[in-house]
Amino acid sequence: MTDFQQLIINRRSIRKFTEEKLTPDQVEKIMKAALLSPASKSANPWQFVLVEDKEMLEKLSLCKKGSSKLIAGCALAIVVLANPLTSDVWIEDTSIASIIMQLQAEDLGLGSCWVQVRERFTEGDTPSDEYVRELLDVPMQMQVLSIIAIGHKAQEKAPHDEDKLQWEKIHIGKFNIDQLTD
């Protein structure tokens, strides 16, 4: 059993991946984690589209200005969708599923990065969610939250520095205005 504390200290956003593919077992474990995510009222509003095809990964990597290029080099992109009519808190539910998949990936020794799609735009100013929807035949009623890019790590990143934790964000008993820095 992994030390959870160590896992969350070690997890960093990985944006460079090797060419190695994920095994079916790794993919299954990651998707199992997603399906085990807690969701409000157990409504489970999420849907996930798994993309491994190189050409489609290239296209997805253009889904937003700047910080989505990394998708082109990942082994698996998981596009996280939800129907807002199924749950009014679909953003929370899909965010939880996204991070749980990232933690499961880390536990498998894989790297991952969250790419934000909701409220973002392509270089040509098309809403990123529209762009992704069209590429992947996603029905209109589905919103796109994120794309979780996963693969074998091709970069080393230092674990989080525990000395830099923002303990001032923790308020004991009542909100302490003197602790406010932003």
Ligand X SMILES: Cc1cc2nc3c(=O)[nH]c(=O)nc-3n(C[C@H](O)[C@H](O)[C@H](O)COP(=O)(O)O)c2cc1C
Q: Alpha carbon of 167 to those of 4, 7, 31, 109, 162: distances in Å? A: 20, 20, 33, 29, 10
Q: Out of 13, 18, 141, 179, name the contact with ligand X by CB under 6 A.
A: 13
Q: Output 24 or 135, the one with its CB closest to ligand X.
A: 135
- Of 142 and 149, CB closest to ligand X: 149
Least distance to ligand X from the beta carbon of 115, Å?
A: 4
Q: Position of tokens 């937003």?
A: 64
Asked if 17 contacts 73 with a C-beta cutoff of 8 angstroms, the reply is yes
Q: Name the one range near ligand X by CB under 6 A: 26-34, 35-43, 113-121, 122-130.
A: 113-121
Nearest distance in Å: CB 139, ligand X: 24
Binding to ligand X in span 35-94, by CB under 6 A: 67-68, 70
Nearer to ligand X by Cβ, of 26 and 68: the residue is 68
Query: Residue 113, interface with ligand X (CB under 6 A)?
Result: yes
Q: Which residue of 40, 83, 107, 114 would you call a contact of ligand X, by CB under 6 A?
A: 114
Question: Coil, strand or helix: which one is 171?
Answer: coil
In the bound complex, what is the minimum distance in angstroms from residue 13's beta carbon to ligand X?
Answer: 3
Q: Can residue 12 be called a binding residue for ligand X (CB under 6 A)?
A: yes
121 touching ligand X, by CB under 6 A? no
Question: Which among 11, 3, 5, 4 has a CA at the least distance from the CA of 159?
Answer: 11
Cα distance between residue 147 and residue 71, in whole Å: 8
Q: Residue 149 Cβ, how far from ligand X at the closest point, in Å?
A: 8
Q: How far is CA 53 from CA 71, 99, 128, 178, in A?
A: 11, 23, 20, 52
Q: Which residues bind ligand X (CB under 6 A)?
A: 12-13, 15, 67-68, 70, 113-116
